[in-house]
Structure 1
Amino acid sequence: MNVSVVLFTADLRLTDHPPLRAALDAADAVVPLFVRDRAIEAAGFAAPNRRAFLDGCLADLDAGLRERGGHLVVRSGDLVQEVCRVVTETDAEEVHMAAGHSRFAARREERLRSALEAVGRRLCVHDAVTVAVPPGMVTPASSDHFAVFTPYYRHWARTPLRPVVRAPGRVVVPEGAGGERVPAHGDHVGVSPALPPGGESQARKQVTAYWRRGLDGYETTHDDLAADATSRLSAHLHFGTVSPVELVHRARRHGGAGAEAFVRQLAWRDFHHQVLAARPETAHADYRTQHDHWRTERTAGADIDAWREGRTGYPVIDAAMRQLRHEGWMHNRARLLVASFLTKTLYVDWRIGAAHFLYWLVDGDVANNQLNWQWMAGTGTDTRPNRVLNPVTQSKKYDPDGTYVRRWVPELAGLAPRLVHEPWKLPAADRADLDYPDPIVSLSTGLDRFRRARGKEA
């Protein structure tokens, strides 16, 4: 029997999965394999929320394979060693997997290719599985990547996408392809109380529901904090339970301003992946340094703790940080606000914020998390590196009635809309009745400190 292995990584689905289709076309039987890579745990990326969500994704993937006559093989350990063991046990000739775009993924692929070639086996890596347009497919004439989004998007939007691949009807798994028990959702310590379920089944339900109720209005509602009108597909995109290629095709068929704005956000995701692929050091180093002398845990520990705990005294900032802990997710507009507040109002190193997000966010990945933080800190690809988002002005604009603030900061639930964004303006007697802190810094003080640090004194 001719056998191939399909190695699942950040592509935990059956629909529109080119590596799986290629493996099925090349062999009589396929080993659907997922390896719990100890290197990911050692690097600190296996945070509780993502581990719990991952378990749901694996259970759902296994269920889908069993409906088709197969099952998922789960192993734990060094990824290269475990793949080679499976290849030996099943006498597989090829291993198929999706391309990754981080330095870690590139090194993993290189190690795996060398190990397989040493035993006369072949590694087949497939592009456009975890992104719609792979890094390197569109480049400017003078560089290996685009550093500004708008020209990138013009080229990205004109790039033909591969067709969507149907889910297989049947999957035959060879005997001898054994592994660990596929996890159920299980118990994980430190998981957000409102963590959503993972898996392709859930992802497809969300896509269908959003296409019916939310996509048409996306352009006008995606910044509305209280409306919660975004798709909430970011975690599914991160784990690959939904295909970005399929989403772009479907949105374009749907048409309209909302669908176009939604596709633009998928392009932003690809943009960050192509920056990271070209400049892998940006996972931890400034893309464009401003020569900052950031405040750190040692010099700004109390401010950082207040930010993490949602006790800064700025209601929209605190609401967002509490949402993050409760759901493992945060509204995109809120992400911009809390990042601006930490890096520019508090003048704290963006890496501290990025690490906190990576711990709590289910959708936290290196490309989008780190580069979005750099964008807001002014050390990344933003062409206006010194922009500062005023949390009061932004809160009044994107949560005018204070609904979002009241949802997450119940201490302020009884305040009128004109006061909920600035509770420090209450009369002293009313202010004393609130169990809510005063602002940890005035916005003018924070702005002056940031301007001086960047050499932009007024």
Structure 2
Amino acid sequence: MSISVVLFTCDLRLHDHPPLRAALDGTEEVVPLFVRDRGVDASGFAVPNRLAFLADCLHDLDAGLRERGGRLVVRSGDLVEEVCKVAAEADADEVHMAADASAHAHRRERRLRRALEGEGVRLHVHDTVSTAVAPGAVAPAGSDHFAVFTPYFRRWSEQRLREPHGAPRAVRVPEGVGSESLPSRADLSGLSEGLAAGGEIAGRKSLATWLRSGVAAYEDRHDDLAGDATSRLSPHLHFGTLSPVELVHRARRAGGPGAEAFVRQLAWRDFHRQVLAARPAAADADYRTQHDRWRSEKAARADVEAWKEGRTGYPVVDAAMRQLRHEGWMHNRGRLLTASFLAKTLYVDWRVGARHFLDLLVDGDVANNQLNWQWMAGTGTDTRPNRVLNPVIQAKRYDPDGAYVRRWVPELAGLEGPSVHEPWKLRGLDRAAFDYPDPIVELYEGLARFKRARGRD
């Protein structure tokens, strides 16, 4: 009897799962395996919000497998060692897993392949599990990746995507392979109060709602801070409870400008992965250096703490940072605003902000987080590296009546309309009535400092 191990990593679902589909087609029994990778823990990437969402996903995955006659096997430790142990216990011939883009994932895959080959076990790595188009599948002449999104998107849009698979009807797991207990979010502390629930069931419900009542207006409303009109599917894409291939197909079937705009965002996700796969150092080093001499976290301690706490004196920045703290998630326009403010107005090293985001974001993803931060810092793929977003202008454009600010900065709730974006304009007793700080920097001073640093004054 042939047996395969299916190693789940960033693909915690049963629908449209190519490694599981291949294993079930080629063998009689499979061992669905998740390893709590010691290397991920050591990197500082395993933070409470993501661990809680992960626990939800694993419970949901196990329940789905049990409905089909199977179960999830969970182990902790060095991933390579644990996979080899499980393969030996099950007397497995093959291991199937999804491809990933990070340097850690590539090193792990190479180690795993060598170790399994030494035991006579074949490793199959499947593309288009966590991306719609695989990194490296499209590339310009003379380069291994696209450095600019627009030409990448043209080529990406021309690709014929594989058809999504349905969930399996039955999964047979061999006896005798032991498992640890599933983790639980109840055992974790330090979680964001408004953290969303994880798991494939929750993800598919959110997707259905989004396609039914949200995507049509996406092009017009995706920057509406108060409207909260984005899909909020990013945590499910990060943990793989939803398939990006399926999302593209279903959005295209829905059709219309909103669906097209949503597909473009899915392409941005693939774009960042193909950049990171080709330039793994970009996870921590400038993709395109501007020779910045950033203020360090230590040198700018007071400013950095005010930014983290949502006490900068710029209400829209503070609202977004407080949303991050409360939900473990932030609106896409808020991410751009807060990143521009830290990296360019405060001229603090983008890595300080990227690390704080990764400490809290449930969708915290090395490719998207780091490369979006570099995009805003002007050291990444942005073709206008010196653009600076003015938080007041942005607030009036994307939160015109101030509802987003009043939701997250309740001490300013008494200010009506757009005046909430500039509380420093109040005078005397009117200003004293609001327990809210003055701006930590004047915008013109921050802009002048940034221009000097970039040699553009």
TM-score over 0.5 for the pair? yes
Equivalent residues of 1:314, 1:391 under 8 A apart: yes
Equivalent residues of 1:218, 1:258 under 8 A apart: yes
* Structure 2 residue aligned with 1:184: 184
One-letter amino acid of the structure 1 residue matched with residue 205 of structure 2: K
- Using the alignment, how far apart are the partners of 1:297 and 1:364 within structure 2? 21
Give the CA deviation at 1:183: 2.6
- Using the alignment, how far apart are the partners of 2:87 and 2:277 within structure 1? 29
* Structure 1 residue aligned with 2:287: 287
* Structure 2 residue aligned with 1:25: 25
Unaligned ranges ≥5, structure 1: none
Deviations 1:53-73 (A, max 9, x none): 000000000000000000000
* Structure 1 residue aligned with 2:322: 322
The TM-score normalised by the length of structure 1 is: 0.99
Give the CA deviation at 1:393: 0.2
Give the CA deviation at 1:350: 0.1
What is the aligned length? Answer: 457
Give the CA deviation at 1:182: 1.7
- Summarize the alignment of residues 425-440 of structure 1 with structure 2, pairs less than 5 Å apart: 425-440=425-440
Report the aligned-residue RMSD.
Answer: 0.6
* Structure 2 residue aligned with 1:139: 139
* Structure 2 residue aligned with 1:248: 248
Give the CA deviation at 1:196: 0.4
Give the CA deviation at 1:166: 1.0
- Using the alignment, how far apart are the partners of 2:453 and 2:357 within structure 1? 25
* Structure 2 residue aligned with 1:421: 421
Equivalent residues of 2:224, 2:399 under 8 A apart: yes
Give the CA deviation at 1:429: 1.2
One-letter amino acid of the structure 1 residue matched with residue 25 of structure 2: D
Query: SS at the partner of 1:298?
Result: coil
Unaligned ranges ≥5, structure 2: none
Deviations 1:95-119 (A, max 9, x none): 0000011100000000000000001
- Using the alignment, how far apart are the partners of 1:54 and 1:429 within structure 2? 49
1:159 counterpart = 2:159: yes
Equivalent residues of 1:147, 1:381 under 8 A apart: yes
Equivalent residues of 1:55, 1:186 under 8 A apart: no
Give the CA deviation at 1:184: 3.4
Equivalent residues of 2:392, 2:422 under 8 A apart: yes
Give the CA deviation at 1:418: 3.2
* Structure 2 residue aligned with 1:300: 300
* Structure 2 residue aligned with 1:38: 38
The TM-score normalised by the length of structure 2 is: 0.99
Equivalent residues of 2:6, 2:19 under 8 A apart: yes
Equivalent residues of 2:11, 2:239 under 8 A apart: yes
Deviations 1:370-411 (A, max 9, x none): 000000000000000000000000000000000000000000
1:238 counterpart = 2:227: no
- Using the alignment, how far apart are the partners of 2:154 and 2:306 within structure 1? 41
Deviations 1:289-330 (A, max 9, x none): 000000012210000000000000000000000000000000
* Structure 2 residue aligned with 1:403: 403
Equivalent residues of 1:7, 1:33 under 8 A apart: yes
One-letter amino acid of the structure 1 residue matched with residue 402 of structure 2: G
Query: SS at the partner of 2:50?
Result: helix
- Using the alignment, how far apart are the partners of 1:385 and 1:450 within structure 2? 12
Give the CA deviation at 1:212: 1.1
Query: SS at the partner of 1:394?
Result: helix
Structure 1 stretch displaced more, 406-415 or 176-185? 176-185
Give the CA deviation at 1:187: 2.9
* Structure 2 residue aligned with 1:119: 119
Give the CA deviation at 1:185: 3.2
1:169 counterpart = 2:165: no
- Using the alignment, how far apart are the partners of 1:416 and 1:85 within structure 2? 63
- Using the alignment, how far apart are the partners of 2:428 and 2:222 within structure 1? 37
Equivalent residues of 2:80, 2:111 under 8 A apart: yes
- Using the alignment, how far apart are the partners of 2:393 and 2:291 within structure 1? 29
Deviations 1:18-56 (A, max 9, x none): 000001111110000000001100000001000000000
Query: SS at the partner of 1:269?
Result: helix
1:412 counterpart = 2:412: yes
Equivalent residues of 2:52, 2:184 under 8 A apart: no
Equivalent residues of 1:419, 1:426 under 8 A apart: no
Deviations 1:237-261 (A, max 9, x none): 0000000000000001110000000
* Structure 2 residue aligned with 1:128: 128
